[in-house]
Structure 1
Amino acid sequence: MLLVYGAFSVHSTLNIGHRHILPMYAVAAVLAGGVAAAHLRSRVLAGGVAALLLAHAAASVRARPDYLAYFNELAGGSAGGYRYLVDSSLDWGQDLPRLRRWLDARGDRDPVFLSYFGSGSPRYYGIAATRIGDTYFDFSGGERQLVPPLRGGWFVISATMWQRVYTHVRGPWTARYEARYQVLRPWIRQLNATLTAPAHGPDGKVLTTGELTDLLIDFEHLRFGRLCFFLRDRAPDARIGATLFAFHLSDAEVNYCLGAPLPADVRLP
């Protein structure tokens, strides 16, 4: 039964993730229990089973109350699971209330730039933040500013956005992304400086409103991807729950991430 169900789940055309195979855990646990019961006359095996049960209980206590973000110790625990799986396997935007409490506890006036994965509203929790790179998860309507100016402050990034699953920049920063960024960056500066209508694209073509919006979103995602690329080897200055990474950047660091040439030793794919 276990193998048959597993085979059907793996080959199903309906893809809703890991939840497909959750019923297999109960059957596997019964089988494992049967095997263990048949061999518990061995003191070594009995001790091993007891140790595993204690470890399971300890892991459950450590994960409480964030069971949604739980990963086992082999995967690095809840703090390291984002390296393997994000989206609904880890990140449902559940740490917004924690972010509010964290910001209140800090009490500083540094601006907050938020790239958030989830359908919750930061404004509902009283979080005053400028959204960046997360246009597909911002449901505030026309209030969002595309390509907002960036400066020093707190950059808070959801794990799913950090891995860039739902942006135009998928995975590692590449030479193609860099080339596109370098084309659009001076165009954005010129666009902001002239503020004339109708708007023209990088190639001089007159843009419709829809085309202009698409280009602005494209650049915002590229800018966010480049920021993440330059922060890739930097540990977050704070972890808020299991799903939010907070980086504190100065004006100079922001300008470096967005405008500096790529390091000479970097070879982009």
Structure 2
Amino acid sequence: MHIPSGIYHWQHGDFTPYQVNPPLIRVLSAVPLLFQGIQLPHQGTTVARLEVKLAEAWIEQYGEETVHQTFLARLFVIPFAVLGTLLTYRIASSFLSGCWPLVPALLWAFSPTVLTYGCLATPDVASAFSLLLVCWRYYCWARAPTTDTSLAFGMAMGLALLVKSTWIMLLPLFFVILLLRVVLRRTHLVHVFSYSLSCVLALGILASGYFFEGMFVPLGEHEFKSSALAVQDGSSFQNRFEGTLLGGIPVPLPENYVLGIDRQKREFEEGRKCYLLGRWYGSGKWYYYCIAAIVKEPVALWILAAVAIGSIALRSPSFDFLLIASIGVPALALFLLASGQTGIHRHYRYVLPILPCLFFLIAYGCSLAPRCFRGGTSVLVCAYITASVATVPRTHAFFSEAVGGASNGWKYLGGSNLDWGQDLRLIRNYETSSESTQTLYAVCGTRWSLRSLGFRSESRQNFFLTSGINEAEERLPIATGAYLLTPTEYVREEFVYFQSRVPDRVLDGGMRLYLENIPKTNE
């Protein structure tokens, strides 16, 4: 949905589709497709979930060609992962010497999480890079407030705001850090003015990314729908600030940016079920990301972290508290914010931006370790790289060796942590290798018909599964054929029928094959 939304932004100048995230990554990924003459008709601004309608129109119009178009679009996003490696090395070089800056750079470059999302047309890795960049530029500015560092900080902040709306929290967060430094007499009050100018520059860059659409709309005129910003009366919503003194204040942000934040908040409030440690919960758990990080990263990483923390505790070294505040505090704030939003605990990728901070901690701590342990650092880094590379090209399904690897991942997490459409090629492989004449039904996470993408399998679940026929809301096969279930779908509550049966075969990637022979009276 990101890619067709990006095409739509370019062609119609409308940023309504996928407004929960700013448009930068979408418009970048759409660039190569513009040169191929890809066209999407205007849909109007009142269509609900416009990005879904656009994706449907895109697939219906171009069919199997969208697979190659997706490949081209992803090429324009990969540089953020490469830039992240370079930036991680540059920052580490400011407080580490010798070969130690290579440690966080290698941990980033070969992280299974970075390898997974660095090649997708989503903002996850770009979000981590932009956060790291703006934190570094803030540190450089705070340490030496000059015109150049102020401009660099403002531009980095503008980039971050165009990648992820969550980074709007950095404006007040950095301001609080600045005020604390003023109170502690580490800097002068006049630098507050310099900081303000950097923020104005950042907001100007953000506005330009939206072609200055919907700027300075009064707070009371936005069509909010979250309970935090609106009052619901039946099916209608009223802006909480309408008719109030605050309601007349112009908001210096693009309208779709503001509405995207409101829509995201609304989704958090509605809540979604959470799958964790083999169980479904009505909502998320505050410890979701702690467990996700443990099972989604190689064991070697956590051994390195333990050595680093132990070394720091034993050596009690002096710290650059400005660097810690500039890089560590935003990462911690993100982790706490994500953990507290229990309405949508489904994706480990949401806390991907904290990884560089962890990598810096590991490199710094291990550099303080006794000499006899330092050699072990290179061994552990090699083990980390080996564990990650061994799962290529299925790094999206990486799970720690401690939990049995990818084959056991479904016992711990679901959703994009297992498969986000990347395993469709495994279905294709089965179609190619299978000599069976049975009808194939693929139960996978994609919303689109696989046949429209050139597959032999049918994937529209309502064509072959019924729901709501008993208290468990089970979905049962109603036609004879071969049923392929990806791990993501296998763990879903409605497929308890399949969970209670032994599959006829377990294929690559943990896909389960069930051969069903349904009497004609039931078909």
Q: Is the 8 A contact 2:335 2:351 kept in 1?
A: yes
Aligned match of 2:500 in 230, 242, 256? Answer: 230
Aligned residues between the structures:
180
1:21 deviation in Å? 1.9
- The alignment status of 1:110 with 2:378, answered yes or no, reads no
1:20 deviation in Å? 3.1
- Name the aligned partner's letter for residue 56 of structure 1: Y
1:48-59 → structure 2 map (5 Å cutoff): 48-59=376-387
| Identity value in percent | 24
1:31 deviation in Å? 0.8
TM-score, normalising length from structure 1? 0.57
- The alignment status of 1:70 with 2:405, answered yes or no, reads no
Q: Structure 1 residues 130, 123: closer, same or farther in 2, change over 3 A?
A: closer
CA separation in 2, counterparts of 1:91 and 1:115?
Answer: 12
Q: Structure 1 residues 12, 105: closer, same or farther in 2, change over 3 A?
A: closer
RMSD: 2.9
- The alignment status of 1:7 with 2:341, answered yes or no, reads no
CA separation in 1, counterparts of 2:334 and 2:341?
Answer: 10
Q: Secondary structure at the match of 1:241?
A: helix
Q: Is the 8 A contact 2:399 2:406 kept in 1?
A: yes
Q: Is the 8 A contact 2:441 2:458 kept in 1?
A: yes
1:81 deviation in Å? 1.1
Instruction: Provide the residue aligned with 1:61 in structure 2.
Output: 389
- Name the aligned partner's letter for residue 337 of structure 2: F
Q: Is the 8 A contact 1:113 1:129 kept in 2?
A: yes
1:1-269 → structure 2 map (5 Å cutoff): 1=329, 2-12=331-341, 15=344, 17-41=347-371, 43=372, 45-131=373-459, 134-135=461-462, 144=463, 147=466, 149-151=478-480, 153-164=481-492, 170=493, 224-226=495-497, 228-231=498-501, 234=502, 237-241=505-509, 244-247=511-514, 249=515, 251=517
Q: Is the 8 A contact 1:69 1:91 kept in 2?
A: yes
CA separation in 1, counterparts of 2:423 and 2:333?
Answer: 38
Q: Is the 8 A contact 1:40 1:46 kept in 2?
A: yes
- Name the aligned partner's letter for residue 230 of structure 1: S
Q: Structure 1 residues 250, 119: closer, same or farther in 2, change over 3 A?
A: closer
Q: Structure 1 residues 105, 125: closer, same or farther in 2, change over 3 A?
A: farther
Q: Secondary structure at the match of 1:246?
A: strand
1:161 deviation in Å? 1.6
Q: Structure 1 residues 12, 126: closer, same or farther in 2, change over 3 A?
A: closer
1:235 deviation in Å? 5.4
Q: Is the 8 A contact 1:240 1:246 kept in 2?
A: no
Structure with the bigger RCO (C-alpha within 8 Å, sep 6+) is: 1
Instruction: Provide the residue aligned with 1:262 in structure 2.
Output: none
CA separation in 2, counterparts of 1:149 and 1:19?
Answer: 36
CA separation in 1, counterparts of 2:422 and 2:433?
Answer: 19
Q: Is the 8 A contact 1:97 1:125 kept in 2?
A: no
1:149 deviation in Å? 3.2
Q: Structure 1 residues 23, 130: closer, same or farther in 2, change over 3 A?
A: closer
CA deviation string 1:88-136 (max 9, x = no partner): 222212222321222211222133232221234310343333447x44x
CA separation in 1, counterparts of 2:443 and 2:506?
Answer: 15
Structure number with greater Rg is 2
Q: Is the 8 A contact 2:431 2:456 kept in 1?
A: no
Q: Secondary structure at the match of 2:390?
A: helix
